[in-house]
Amino acid sequence: MKIYKYTRIYILLLLFIASGVNAFAQEVSGSIKSSKNKVLTGYLIKNPKNGDEAISGKLGEFIINASTDDLLEVYFEGQKVNELLVKGEGAVYSLHDNPFVKTVDGAYGKVNRLASSSAMDVLTADKIEATSFTNTEHATIGQLAGLTTLMSGGEPGSNGLSMYVRGLSSFRDAAPLILVDGFPSNFSHLNNYEIESITVLKDAVATAMYGLRAANGVILVTTKRGYDGKTSIKVNADFGTLMPTTLPEYVDAYNYSNMVNEAHDNDGLAPRYSNDELEGYRLDNDPYNYPNVDWQEEMLKSATDYMNTSLEFRGGSDRVKYYSLIGYMHADGLFKHTEENQQYSTANNFNRINFRTNADIYLTSKFDLNLGIGGRLENRNDPEVGTASLFSNIMSSPANRYVLYNENGSYGGSNQYRANPMAQIAGKGYTDSHTRFVNFNLRLNYDLDVIADGLTASVEGSYINAFTGNERFTASYEVYDRQLTQQEDGSLGVSYIPFGQEKTITSLARTVSQYRTETYRAYLNYDRAFGDHAINAMLLYDYSSYVQQNNAEPFNFQGLSLRANYGYKSTYFIDIVGAYNGNNSYNPDNQYGFFPAIGASWVMSNEAFLSDMEWLSYLKMRSSYGITGSSLLDGYGRFSHVSDYSSDGSYRFARTGGNVTGLSESTGVNDKLEWSKNHQFNIGFDAVLFQKVNLSFDYFNQTNTDILQSINPVVTDMVGFAVPQVNYGEVKNAGFESSLSYAETLATGWSWYVEGNIGFAQNEITKFYQLENDPTPMVGQSITAIYGYIADGFYQDASDIASSPVNTLDRVQAGDVKYLNITPGDNMIDEYDRTVIGNSFPQMHYGMNLGLEYKGIYISASLDGSQRDLMMNGHDIYRPLGSGYGNVSEYAAANYWTPERSNSASLPRLTVQDNYNNYVASTMYMQNGNYLRLRTAELGYKFNSSVLSRIKMSSAKLYIRGHNLAVLNNIDGDIDPEVRSGHPLLKSFNIGLNVQF
């Protein structure tokens, strides 16, 4: 009985335990997000208690067998990145997303950032999508450490941005290699929603596989691809207005006329305007006899329209994964009166259609293919005179020059002044530009594990074709000079004297430019781990051919590249990279070069001696050295090993009755010409602190040798031909870049983040061919050093001029700029008194991102800035009246020299004569170009997913966004520090909606 009794108790106890296990060990669902509330997809969640695993889906969701208070482990790309304490069913987990252990884009494929010693930075899709720029390249401004951006124009759809990786290391070429999905192309006209990431490769280990194309860094743009899951449909709609950030103000007709008379007096000329005319301009009640036209008000809109819409499809299965996008963008221009001519429109507007389809098809378990088709159609309409010229004319036309229209409806003007902006925009014709761009690429991948585990082979090809056609429809117009005439009865009449000739569209000029690029590659990849050892290697053959219109000989490139990475215990890594490649621009005996690189990295946080430092979540030290090349010949040097002959006059031959055209050698032969070589050293570290702070730092030192340079100045014309350029110059470039980010999600529901980056690069020319007596020696100076005179105020009177060094630049008088004589003993101002007074390239740049979110409501902002010097002597707001009778800015009117303000003036006296002395480059016109700009600000709401699920939506976001909203700078006058002339930089205000089904 006792045995039965205890057996019964034992069975009951087992049932109780089993029921307890059933109660606590069950399927638990949850989702994971980053500390910035970004969904984390593709993360592996493990329960070490029972061995169960799960992968987070496209919304970060997962289901796993676990009990309350179990500690789950989270892995990404094979690396443990966090631990989660089970909270219960449906919990949302926030964890730090370590960017330094992810697989990212590298040279010719993906690389494991944990194992790589490369210096790189990545801009992800969420930041790119949070922009409304008409030029997608602008999304990179201030976002990537080590990437300097310079803007040259603000016209919608224009490619007005230049990018530089780690500053300048050459005075000949500085543009980085830009690849979209692995093939050369710019990305300014991609739709911002089709991009998955933008990666900047900065050191030799990261770029050496590109060999003689990589001296200036590499930018990789990767478009989105599909995933294994139900098809998602995303609709993006963005609408806004565009307006100038700033425009200079100019004086009215009365003040302008007085200043012209003052200039005449300074020049010893009779007054241009009589007292009666001055009174007429002052009263401003007779617009035809005394015009007073605010040309900006009359010709420019205060705001214009913008829209960007797109539709995305993304999804797939284990056999096929796909992504597709179709997008449309439209932006209007700033000019008014573009529909005045009933025959045609002169509106400067921009339209673009983007399309893309990427597919990954798994034909068998060992054989798959990757397909990509993308492109765009663009159309641009502009006034025939051109937007830049029209803007310049609007700004430079004084208020009293002419009226828009005379009383009889004719264009105002005169024999001397025929460029009436109104006539130019309505009567000169228009241009229509069409662009077609298409890219097709196909890659085949085969698993060769039958030969060796981890071995794969791939072949791929790409075809790019681009066509741009410009049609210029030219018309002409008449302007009429309105003159008062004495009538027979003694009264005053009006007559109109025409100048020019009015015609409708009289000519059509068509220009066409097109190119195509074909690329073929073959790969062998090996990726395998052996216990504590891991090897990842790639061997690549690459061939490409670039053909331009009207250029019979293609630009061919080919070579072999190798990359190998060895890792031990996921702690110690070595990278070996090499490329042997060349192109057909050089002598066949000297077409190929070898470009090696080596790097090493150490994940110190994996060491036992750091295991007790709980604040140190991750730390990796890395260093690299290598050589990369630049074969950009800058329009010169191609086939320099072949004699070049050109037509050169004519001569009589024998007894012929006419002349025979002669030939002469135009440039001598240089069969030794080759690429420049950038020797690059890099050392840096990546760290994660307190599971919340990401920190990265790099120091670099580069020496670029054999830079192509002309030595023509030292060759006499007696030689009879131009001496070829040679590989001679040398530049040293050094600096650092760093990025820092912090993000946190609080239990109260608040989440916030702050990110910052900074970069500094300083170059010095160490070898440059110059004449010994050159007044501006380059060696020892920066590539972009500004040379000029040191201004020493203004000449006050004749005695001041007499007691000062002799000025050889021009005749001077009181109110002209006085300069320091820095050449000992010569007592004169000449070109040898020029010195370095500034640097036009930003040596330092920085950016910052801020964000705050609570229960779906969020606000974010990005700021960026740089430090540089600007020489403004050529800008019309600092040059009143120009070289004659140009316009006068409000700034110039308040600051030009007069005897009364001789101690406060910042600009020289007024003159209508060209004066070289007053407007030569000098410290007088040197401006501090430092700025800090609020680049983007956004306020939005992310709708609750539980509400959206009822209407079959997975996500939805409504936002208000602005770009280029405010700027802090030290520039005198109404000048934008980034775009100082031509089409102004535009700010925008947008409202948008993103909906995903």
**Cβ 178 vs Cβ 219: under 8 Å:** yes
Q: How many CA atoms lie within 13 A of 465 on its CB side?
A: 5
Helical H segments across 689-844, by residue range: 798-803
Tens-place pLDDT, residues 212-236:
999 999 999 999 999 888 888 999 9
**Cβ 201 vs Cβ 218: under 8 Å:** yes
Q: What is the pLDDT of residue 654?
A: 66
DSSP H/E element including 866 = strand 857-867
DSSP H/E element including 223 = strand 218-223
The residue among 390, 387, 388, 386 whose CA lies nearest residue 472 is 386
| DSSP state at residue 877 | G
pLDDT band, very low/low/confident/very high, at 20 (cuts 50, 70, 90) = very low
In the chain, the percentage of residues whose pLDDT exceeds 70 is 94
Separation of alpha carbons 521 and 544, rounded Å: 9
pLDDT band, very low/low/confident/very high, at 7 (cuts 50, 70, 90) = very low
**Cβ 673 vs Cβ 587: under 8 Å:** yes
Mean pLDDT of the chain: 89
Tokens 């600009």 correspond to 907
User: What residues have CB less than 8 Å from 650, skipping those under 6 apart?
Assistant: 659, 660, 661, 662
DSSP H/E element including 761 = strand 750-767
pLDDT band, very low/low/confident/very high, at 127 (cuts 50, 70, 90) = very high
Tens-place pLDDT, residues 602-651:
999 988 898 888 899 899 999 999 999 998 654 566 777 777 777 766 66
pLDDT band, very low/low/confident/very high, at 711 (cuts 50, 70, 90) = confident
Tokens 């009215």 correspond to 252
List the single range of 255-264, 421-430, 636-645 with lowest mean pLDDT.
Answer: 636-645
Separation of alpha carbons 586 and 300, rounded Å: 51
Q: What is the pLDDT of residue 669?
A: 81
Write the DSSP assignment of 506-537 as a string of letters: EEEEEEEEEEEEEEEEEEEEEEEEETTEEEEE
Three-state secondary structure of 583-602: ECCCCHHHCEEEEEEEEEEE
Tens-place pLDDT, residues 26-40:
788 888 888 777 788
Tens-place pLDDT, residues 50-72:
888 888 887 788 888 888 777 88
510: its two tokens: 């068509």
Please report, for residues 106, 165, 730, the alpha-carbon distance to residue 700 in angstroms, rounded to integers and kept in the order given.
Answer: 19, 12, 17
Amino acid at 612: D
Average pLDDT, integer, range 193-213: 95
Q: What is the pLDDT of residue 859?
A: 96
Q: How many whole angstroms from its chain centre is CA 3?
A: 85
